Amino acid sequence: MTRTVLESKSKTVVIGFDEPFCVIGERINPTGRKKLAAELEAGNFSTVEKDALEQVACGAMVLDVNAGVVYNSNPNPNETEPPLMRKMIELVQGLVDTPLCIDSSVPGALQAGLEACQGRPLLNSVTGEEERLELVLPLVKKYNVPVVAISNDDTGISEDPDVRFEVAKKIVQRAADFGIPAHDIVVDPLVMPVGAMATAGRQVFTLVQRLREELGCNTTCGASNISFGLPHRHGINAAFLPMAIGAGMTSAIMNPVRQVEMEAIRAANFLMNHDANGGEWIRFSKVLEAVEGGMSFAEASSSQSAAASGRRGGRRARA
């Protein structure tokens, strides 16, 4: 059975067909966040710290770290992004014990992140583009890490799901040439906005099933892409995620601070028999009760997480 193993210094997370759905927190990313980008350029990491702690408390099992700031003082990311990525990786892994996902289109930043990261992170990402394959796959092999494989190539992103499948198949085959096994390839089949393409949801569900059955690969996606441009996006996302899980998707890069999406994932794990005796659902219900009592979802999640840590600490002390 396909198992993609991620590790921090002290914690292991497995992405797999028979594992709970893996939530990869997306918040540590300055893309589209002007305030965060300005803070990072100024050397202020307070938002990164808050986002790291809050996402883990809300249920993120892995944290995506992206350092893609276009500096006003130096617009060359090949010079600015690698040292920033190193700083951010060191900071985040000093705050939480969650495995990390190193996210960059700059090979030097991927390398810097890999050098700084403790454990076995997920690398994000390789595509079917020839130049990208030649740059990224040697890093994957050298550091023995899994990688996100995005289903576009030199021709761009195809609207044809069969073409996207073939791109994914090509990446898996090329990875095998480097000695990288299929279980270390996490394919992103590329979720299209359903507002622009009515068949987007059905396309990705079919693709996920094929990737699982024919290539034996785990899958991921940018979950919020499905609702891009639509009102009340979180309702769409919350419907999409359990349907994707039912089709076989095993992870998503998403915002775990959104209650409605996390509630849908917790319920889906229970219904898929990936939550033994409903233990996680029962614990999550305590968070929902605190929200009903007036706390924000992030506050309630943090409180529940702190209480759980205290109970574990108490048991260790008694032992």
Strand 147-150 to 185-188 pairing: parallel
Q: How far apart are the first and last CA of the chain?
A: 35
pTM for this predicted structure: 0.96
pLDDT for the residue numbered 307: 85
Residues 6 or more apart whose CB falls under 8 angstroms from that of 101 comprise: 24, 62, 63, 64, 65, 121, 122, 123, 124, 148, 253
**Can you give the pLDDT at residue 311?**
66
Q: With respect to CATH, is domain 3-274 assigned 1.20.1600.10? A: no
Output the pLDDT for position 315: 47
Q: What is the pLDDT of residue 312?
A: 61
Using CA atoms, how far apart are residues 169 and 184, in angstroms rounded to an integer? 14
For the chain, domain boundaries:
3-274, 278-314
For tokens 């899980």, name the residue. 245
* pLDDT score at 81: 97
- Please give the average pLDDT of every successive group of 10 residues along the chain, which has 319 residues: 95 98 98 95 97 98 96 90 98 98 97 98 98 98 98 96 98 98 98 97 98 98 98 97 98 98 98 97 97 97 86 49
- The pLDDT value recorded for residue 308 is 78
